[in-house]
Structure 1
Amino acid sequence: MSIRANFTAAGRGTGRRALRALLAAALAASVLLPAPAFADVRGTDQLLGTTVAERGLPAVACPNVTARYAFVMDAAGTVYFSREADVQSHIASITKVMTAIVALDSGMPMDTVITVGEKAATVGESSADLRMGDKLSLKAALTGLMVSSGNDAAIAIAETVGATLAADGQDANEAFVAAMNAKAAELGMNDSLFANPHGLDIGEYDNEMYSTAHDVGLMCAYAMKNETFRSIVAQDKAQLAVTKPDGSTATIELTSTDLLLGVYEGACGIKTGYTEAAGNSFAGACNRGDGDLYAIVLGAPSESARFEDAKALFNWVYDNRMTYALAHSDQWVTADEDGTSAKVPLIAEVPHTAWLDKRVKATFADPGASVEVFAPEGNVSQELVTRDLPGAVHAGDVVGTMNFYQGNELIASQDLVAVEDSPAPDFLQGIGFWWERLWAGFGGRELVAAPVVVNQTPLIYSKASTGQSIEDIRAIAAGDDVVPDDDSASDGADEEE
Structure 2
Amino acid sequence: MNKIIKCINIKNLAKILVIALLISTCSVVVPVSVSAEDMGTQVDTDVSTSLVSGKSGILMEPSSGTVLYEFNPDERLQIASVTKTMTMLLIFDALESGKISYSDMVSTSEHAASMGGSQVFLEPGEQMSVDDMLKAIAISSGNDAAVAMAEFVAGSEDAFVEMMNKKAAALGCENTHFCNCNGLDEPDDHYSSARDVAKISCALIKHSDVFKYTTTWMDTLRGGSFGLSNTNKLLKSYSGANGLKTGSTEKAKYCLSASAERNGLNLVAVVLGAPSTKERFGSAARLLDYGFANYSVVNGEQIVGEIPNLTVQSGTQDTVPVTLMGNTNYIVKKGNEDKVETEINMDSICTAPIQKDQVVGNVVFKVDGQKIGENNIVSMTEVNKINLWELFFKNMKKYFSI
TM-score (norm 1): 0.50
Distance 1:287 1:275, change over 3 A: same
Q: Which residue of the partner structure matches residue 213 of structure 2?
A: 232
**AA aligned opposite 1:162:** A
**AA aligned opposite 2:253:** G
1:79 and 2:67 equivalent?
yes
**AA aligned opposite 2:199:** L
Distance 1:178 1:310, change over 3 A: same
1:68 to 55, 61, 67: 55
Q: Which residue of the partner structure matches residue 253 of structure 1?
A: 227
Q: Which residue of the partner structure matches residue 322 of structure 2?
A: none
Following TM superposition, the consecutive aligned residue runs of length 4 or more in structure 1 with deviations greater than 6 angstroms are none
1:152 to 144, 148, 166: 144
Q: Which residue of the partner structure matches residue 128 of structure 1?
A: 120
- Report how far residue 85 of structure 1 moved: 0.6
Residues 278-333 of structure 1, C-alpha deviations (whole Å, 9 max, x = no match): 1100000000131310000001110011000000001111122379xxxxxxxxxx
Secondary structure at the counterpart of residue 129 of structure 1: coil
1:196 and 2:203 equivalent?
no
Q: Which residue of the partner structure matches residue 257 of structure 2?
A: 283
Greater Cα radius of gyration, structure 1 or 2: 1
1:315 to 282, 289, 292: 289
Distance 1:372 1:197, change over 3 A: closer
- Report how far residue 211 of structure 1 moved: 0.7
Distance 1:225 1:50, change over 3 A: closer
Q: Which residue of the partner structure matches residue 140 of structure 1?
A: 132
Q: Which residue of the partner structure matches residue 110 of structure 1?
A: 102
Q: Which residue of the partner structure matches residue 360 of structure 2?
A: none
What is the CA–CA distance in structure 1 between the aligned matches of 2:45 and 2:88, rounded to whole Å?
34
Residues 236-261 of structure 1, C-alpha deviations (whole Å, 9 max, x = no match): 11222x3xxxxxx5632100000011
Query: Kindly, what percent of the aligned residue pairs are identical?
Result: 33
**AA aligned opposite 1:152:** D
- Report how far residue 63 of structure 1 moved: 4.8
What is the CA–CA distance in structure 2 between the aligned matches of 1:133 and 1:259, rounded to whole Å?
33
What is the CA–CA distance in structure 1 between the aligned matches of 2:289 and 2:212, rounded to whole Å?
24
1:222 and 2:203 equivalent?
yes
Secondary structure at the counterpart of residue 194 of structure 1: coil
What is the CA–CA distance in structure 1 between the aligned matches of 2:372 and 2:161, rounded to whole Å?
46
What is the CA–CA distance in structure 2 between the aligned matches of 1:227 and 1:200, rounded to whole Å?
26
Correspondence list, 1:4-43, <5 A = none
Secondary structure at the counterpart of residue 218 of structure 1: helix
Structure 2: gaps of 5 or more residues: 1-41, 298-329, 340-365, 374-402
For the Cα contact (< 8 Å) 1:49–1:79, is it kept in 2? no
Distance 1:119 1:207, change over 3 A: farther
Residues 398-455 of structure 1, C-alpha deviations (whole Å, 9 max, x = no match): xxxxxx95584489xxxxxxxxxxxxxxxxxxxxxxxxxxxxxxxxxxxxxxxxxxxx
Structure 1: gaps of 5 or more residues: 1-46, 53-58, 164-171, 243-248, 324-370, 381-403, 412-497
What is the CA–CA distance in structure 2 between the aligned matches of 1:67 and 1:409, rounded to whole Å?
34
Q: Which residue of the partner structure matches residue 355 of structure 1?
A: none
RMSD of the TM alignment (CA)? 2.8
Residues 340-371 of structure 1, C-alpha deviations (whole Å, 9 max, x = no match): xxxxxxxxxxxxxxxxxxxxxxxxxxxxxxx9
1:88 and 2:76 equivalent?
yes
For the Cα contact (< 8 Å) 2:66–2:331, is it kept in 1? no
Residues 135-166 of structure 1, C-alpha deviations (whole Å, 9 max, x = no match): 11012101101110100111111122121xxx
For the Cα contact (< 8 Å) 1:201–1:207, is it kept in 2? no
**AA aligned opposite 1:300:** A
Point out which structure has higher relative CO (alpha carbons under 8 A, 6+ apart). Answer: 2
Matched pairs, number: 269
TM-score (norm 2): 0.62
Q: Which residue of the partner structure matches residue 303 of structure 1?
A: 277
